[in-house]
Chains A and B, each alone.
Chain A
Amino acid sequence: MEGHSLPRSEVVGGAKGALHLRANARVVRALGLRSIRQTFRRPQLMAPIVVFPTILLAIQTGGAGSAVELPGFPPVQSFLQFMLAGAMMQSLMLAGNSGGIALAVDIEMGFTDRLFAAPISRYAIVLGRLAGTAALGLFASLWFFAIGLVFGAEIAGGVPGALLSIALVTVTAAAVGGIGAAIALRTGSASVVQGLFPLVLVVLFLSSAFFPVGLMIEPAKTIAEYNPFSFIVEGVREPIVSGVDATETAEALLAIAGIVVIGLGLSARALRHRLRVG
């Protein structure tokens, strides 16, 4: 008896499905909507996306607001204005983590078998989950812009700047969700994905999300300088604090692209592994 590798039709067909999103758009949309409903109906998934970052934002702006007066702190209107991008980053990263947890729960309870047994591209299943995560990123960015505006933060880049920041946050949420999905598919364990929660915070604190890189001390400073999430944070922050900057935007997009490639690549690999091992 000879063993089987994953059939070529499945591999190529699946990749085509991912690339030609329109062909599976209805499935991606349906699964994305399910993902959003699932998050809103399960408070433990919603809390890290909105509640925790909002509380942290309130504590930091309330307790460390005078940090803007430190020598070397970038010129900003207020600490709240500076912190909005960090809060959005925290929210989207936890949205990606929550998306991974939800996918792992689906695997644990066998729901993904229902999806895998349907005649659709199996990559559409992952894309549906990422679409849901992107929508949560969009929701989070709107939420924090609303909070910022209510509490007096100015958006230096105006409406175009806000839209750019919102777009970057939305796309980054999907990119980070890809990594969460990959871990979920590989491990099939919600507790493992949940265990990454502290790591998300470490990655954030070792970036420019909550504090300017120039004021950090070594080795955090060097790590933050090369942390791809610092580039994304700056891409999101710049339109808020000083206006749209093409270089910052390009660097952010490059970092997002890198995370997308890693996330989707790992997801595809984990998906194939899951189909091999069952």
Chain B
Amino acid sequence: MASATAISVQGLERAFAEVLAVRGVEIEVGEGEIYGFLGPNGAGKTTTVRMLTTLLLPTGGRATVAGHDVVAEARQVRASIGVALQEAALDPLMTGRELIRLQATLHGLPGAEGRRRADDLLERVDLADAADRRVGTYSGGMQRRLDLAAALVHEPRVLFLDEPTTGLDPVSRKTIWEEVRALNDDGTTVFLTTQYLEEADQLADNVGIIDSGRIVAEGTPASLKAEVGAPHIRLQLEEGSIAEAEEICRRIGPLLPPVDAKTVLVEVEQGAADIPRVVRALDEADIEVGSLELVHPSLDDVFVAKTGYHIKVPTTSSAPANA
């Protein structure tokens, strides 16, 4: 359980001309927590992150990061945070090593210390062999890992990752996830924005769902999923036994609308613990079960329940950028 607040946001707003992009956002993130900020494109995630990282002034509300006000104490905030922004903001003409060393200088590390940290970080993100190549020759996954390494050069207390895996292939995505978990194990607070429901589910201790600039749901992934309903068992059966199976399952839990003529969906309060009851009851009635699956509500179900639509997930790519 987190012991202190790393990020505190109260009524944060940002207007662009007549458009209110962020509307009264309230967030509390404990120290050592991974907070997943989930929402579709244009929901207000990046605008919120830009305000929290002092890159954009709020037009209303207030926020503190690492105990410092993002407006009045911007420089102290910047000294406490690491930032890896959307679409890895890297100079394709620099080498990986040059970039990390520049980042070390920007954060006031002495030359020798900066060089040592650069070597360590390049090793850590598995880029030591590519360290002296220009960033423009890196794949998308390598660029994100370099961006992450650059954000860590001064060992920040709070790390902001803005869609760190968008567009990456599954292998590169998993590598980033492992690194984020390792960082969090070391005590770093992570504020992670993502469009990927699975990413938030896998990584985040707490999730905030933002839509049209407003937080529409917040809590642990488990509590959010519990809000939208109990898990259900999906049974694949012979067509002739469907009616009898439905009769039996109805005694165990409420039936959900079937997806096809060979499927029965029954909601179960206790999840996996209810599986033996269902199997025994069907077995006693001599009903042959083709397959059985316990299905838990996903964050997608939560998102749909809160917003009425699905998040459109972007396609993946890891091709090298132009040099």
Residues in A lying within 8 Å of B, measured CB to CB: 1-7, 9-10, 13, 26-27, 30-31, 34, 37-38, 41-42, 106, 109-111, 113-120, 275-278
Asked whether A9 lies within 8 Å of B75 as measured between CB atoms, the reply is yes
Contacts of B78 in A (CB 8 A): 117-119
Bound-state Cα–Cα, A26 to B79, Å: 17
Bound-state Cα–Cα, A106 to B94, Å: 12
Contacts of B185 in A (CB 8 A): none
Contacts of B16 in A (CB 8 A): 277-278
Interface size on B, residues (CB 8 A): 43
Contacts of B75 in A (CB 8 A): 9-10, 13, 119
Within 105-162 of B, Cβ neighbours of A (below 8 Å) are at: 105-108, 134, 150
Asked whether A1 lies within 8 Å of B13 as measured between CB atoms, the reply is yes
Interface residues of A, dominant DSSP: helix
Residue B29 at the chain A interface, CB threshold 8 Å = no
Residue B236 at the chain A interface, CB threshold 8 Å = no
Bound-state Cα–Cα, A57 to B105, Å: 40
Asked whether A276 lies within 8 Å of B57 as measured between CB atoms, the reply is yes
Bound-state Cα–Cα, A94 to B72, Å: 39
Asked whether B79 lies within 8 Å of A119 as measured between CB atoms, the reply is yes
Asked whether B50 lies within 8 Å of A278 as measured between CB atoms, the reply is yes
Contacts of A13 in B (CB 8 A): 75
List the 9 closest A-B pairs by CB distance, nearest first: A1-B60, A110-B89, A118-B106, A278-B56, A119-B79, A119-B78, A30-B105, A3-B59, A117-B83
Asked whether A4 lies within 8 Å of B93 as measured between CB atoms, the reply is no
Contacts of B59 in A (CB 8 A): 1, 3-4
Residue B53 at the chain A interface, CB threshold 8 Å = yes
Residue B85 at the chain A interface, CB threshold 8 Å = yes
Bound-state Cα–Cα, A118 to B75, Å: 8
Residue B274 at the chain A interface, CB threshold 8 Å = no
Bound-state Cα–Cα, A7 to B61, Å: 15
Asked whether A118 lies within 8 Å of B107 as measured between CB atoms, the reply is yes
A-B contact pairs, 12 of them (CB 8 A): A1-B11, A9-B75, A34-B91, A37-B98, A113-B83, A114-B85, A114-B89, A117-B54, A119-B78, A120-B106, A275-B55, A275-B56
Asked whether B55 lies within 8 Å of A7 as measured between CB atoms, the reply is no
CB 8 Å contact bits of B23-51 with A (1 = contact, 0 = none)? 01000000000000000000000010010
Q: How close is B190's CB to chain A, nearest CB, in angstroms?
A: 16
Identify B55's interface contact among A4, A41, A116, A120, CB under 8 A: A116
Contacts of A120 in B (CB 8 A): 106, 108
Bound-state Cα–Cα, A27 to B105, Å: 6
For B50, B55, B72, B78, which residue has the most chain A Cβ atoms within 10 angstroms?
B55
Q: How close is B67's CB to chain A, nearest CB, in angstroms?
A: 15
> Beyond A1-B13, A27-B105, A118-B78, is A38–B91 a contact (Cβ under 8 Å)?
yes
Bound-state Cα–Cα, A113 to B54, Å: 10
Asked whether B94 lies within 8 Å of A9 as measured between CB atoms, the reply is no
Chain B's closest residue to A114 (CB) is: B89
Chain B's closest residue to A5 (CB) is: B57
Asked whether A114 lies within 8 Å of B150 as measured between CB atoms, the reply is yes
Asked whether A117 lies within 8 Å of B81 as measured between CB atoms, the reply is yes
